Amino acid sequence: MPTVAARAQPPLAFIPPQFNPVVLQSLRYVMPWWIRWRTHLAQIQAEDVERLVSAYQQFQAGQTRVLIAFRHPSPDDAFCLAYLLWYLLPQKARRLKGAIAGTPHIHFIYDRGIPLWAGQWLGWLYSRLGGTPIQRGKVDIMGLRSARQLFVNGQFPLAAAPEGANNGHSEVVSPLEPGIAQLGFWCVEDLRKAQREQAVMILPLGIQYHYVQPPWQAVAQLLTQLEAESGLSHAIEAGQMQRLAAPLRERYPLPEVATALYARLLRLGEHLLSQMENYYREFYHVALSPLEATADDFNTHLAQRLDRLLSAALAVAEAYFKVTPQGSVIDRCRRIEQAGWDWIYRDELQADKAVSAVERGLADRIAEEASLRMWHMRLVESFVAVTGRYVLEKPTVERFAETVLLLRDTVARIQGRNPFPRPQLGRQRVQMRLGEPLFVSDRATAYRQNRRQAVADLTADLQAALERLILP
C-alpha cells in the first residue's frame, strides 16, 4: 500500500523487461532459503503438474503460446509460483521422461504500483526476471504493448493474475478483470497476421493455503489486539455471545473456542462498521441511514452495511477527483488509483522542464491531498471479496484467520500504517492445482463476430475454471 506522498514526482516511467539469465539462476539458487526467511510456508505441493509439463513442451516445440492465469489470494503467491516452475515442474517432467529445455520460467505481468510501496529494487528485479508492468487504472499503451509482445514472441510463457490483486481469500475468487481474455484474443490475431499456426492456450492455476496446525490461539491473540485498538474489551456478555454465535452453533458441532471467536469477530466487525459509518456521516456528510437487522440473519445485515459503506467511501474519493462512479467496485478502485497517480506523478516535473519553487510547492500540496484521498480506495480494496457469510458457510481456522487479517489491515490503514508485511499466525502448506487449458484459438470466429461478448464469455469461463480448482 503506497504511503502518503510527501512530494509530487515525475511521471511513472515504464520499466522495460530486461531478462537476465544470471539473475534467474541466482534467484533460483537462493529461493528455498528466501522462502524460509520471508514466509511461513512449510510445504508447497501441486496437483496435475503433468498439464503444465505438456504446456511447456508444446510451447518449446513452437506449437502453442501459453498464458498461466493464476489465483492471487496472498502476497506469498509469487514464491509459490517460482517454486512450482523451478522445482516441481522439472521434477515432474523427469518422472514423466518429458524433456523441458533449460530452467522453466515465465514472463509475467505485475502492477506498476508495487515498486512504489515495496521498494524500487523490486522493479529492477522483476525487470531482470522478464516481468512487464501495467498501470491498472488507464489504457496503459506501453504496458499493454509490452505484454502483448511477450505473449506473442516472448521466450517463455506469460503469467498473470486475472483477479488483478490479492484478495486475502483462499476460497473466494474475486470477479476477474477482462484483460487476460483480451490479451488471449490479441495473441490469436497477431499470430494470424504473422501467418503463424500456433494455438493460444490459457492454463488456470489454483493456489490455496492451509495451516499445518490450527492457530486458534494466534487468531485469538490478534483479535484481542484489534479489539483493544478499536476500543472494545475482549470480554463479551453471555447474552450477546449466545445471540451472535447461535447461527454457527446450529449448523456445526464446533468447540467453544471457535464459537466464542465467531461472536467476537462479528462484534468487532459490527463495531468497526458503526465507527466508519459515523466517520463518513459526520465528516463527509454521506447519507447512511440505519438498516433494519433481522435477528436470524445478522451476517447478511453486516454484508449489506459493508457494501453500502464501501460504495460511500469510493464516492468520497470519486467526488474529489471528479471521477464518474461506474462499473464494478474493482473498476471504480482502478479509476481512482489512476486519478491519484495523475496528480502525484506529473508531466511538468520531468527533468528537462523548469519549475519554480512556488509551482513545486503547490504540486507537493496536491500530491499530499491526492494520497490522502486515495486512502478511501485502499480501504475498499481490502474488502472486495468479503461476503459476510465466509466464516459461517465453512468455519475453518483458515477462514477465521483470513477474516481477522482483513480486519487487521483495515485497523492498520485507519491508523495510517502500512498493513504489509502481515503478521504470521502459523506455519502453512500450499496446495496448487492446474486446471484444464482454455484454447482461445477455438474462439477466434466468435471474437470476430462479437468481440465484447467473446471476451466476456472467455472471462466467465476462466472464472468458473479457477473456482473449480478450490479444494472443498
Interval 185-194: pLDDT, tens: 999 999 999 9
Place of cell 484489534: 226
**In the predicted model, is pLDDT for residue 6 greater than 70?**
no
**In the predicted model, is pLDDT for residue 296 greater than 60?**
no
Q: Label residue 4 by pLDDT band (50, 70, 90).
A: very low
Overall residue count recorded for the chain in this entry = 472
- Tens digit of each residue's pLDDT (9 = 90 or more) over 398-443: 999 999 999 999 999 999 888 888 899 999 999 999 999 999 999 9
pLDDT for res 303 = 87
3-state DSSP assignment of residue 65: strand
Cα separation, 398 vs 427, whole angstroms: 12
Q: Is the pLDDT of residue 302 over 90?
A: no
- Structure confidence by residue, pLDDT tens digits, 103-148: 999 999 999 989 988 889 999 999 999 999 999 888 899 999 999 9
Residue 341 has pLDDT above 90, yes or no: yes
Q: Pick 21-212+427-468's CATH classification: 3.30.750.210, 3.40.390.10, 3.40.1130.10, 3.60.20.10.
A: 3.40.1130.10
Give pLDDT tens digits for 198-247: 999 999 999 999 999 999 999 999 999 999 999 998 788 888 888 888 88
Q: What is the pLDDT of residue 294?
A: 58
- The tens digit of pLDDT for each residue in 52-87 reads 999 999 999 999 999 999 999 999 999 999 999 999
Looking at residue 1, its pLDDT comes to: 43
pLDDT number for residue 472: 82
What is the chain's mean pLDDT, rounded?
Answer: 93
Task: Render pLDDT for 314-324 as a digit per residue (tens, 0 to 9).
Answer: 999 999 999 99
Does residue 351 have a pLDDT over 90? no
* Range 53-58 contact pairs with CB under 8 angstroms and sequence separation of 24 or more: 53/89, 53/92, 53/93, 53/96, 53/98, 53/100, 54/98, 55/157, 55/201, 55/203, 55/437, 56/89, 56/93, 56/100, 56/104, 56/157, 57/98, 57/99, 57/100, 58/199, 58/201
**Can you give the pLDDT at residue 5?**
55
- pLDDT value of position 247: 84
Percent above pLDDT 90 for the chain: 78
**Helix and strand numbers, DSSP H then E, in the chain:** 18, 8
Q: Any idea where the domains of the chain sit in the sequence?
A: 21-212+427-468, 216-414
Say what the pTM is: 0.94
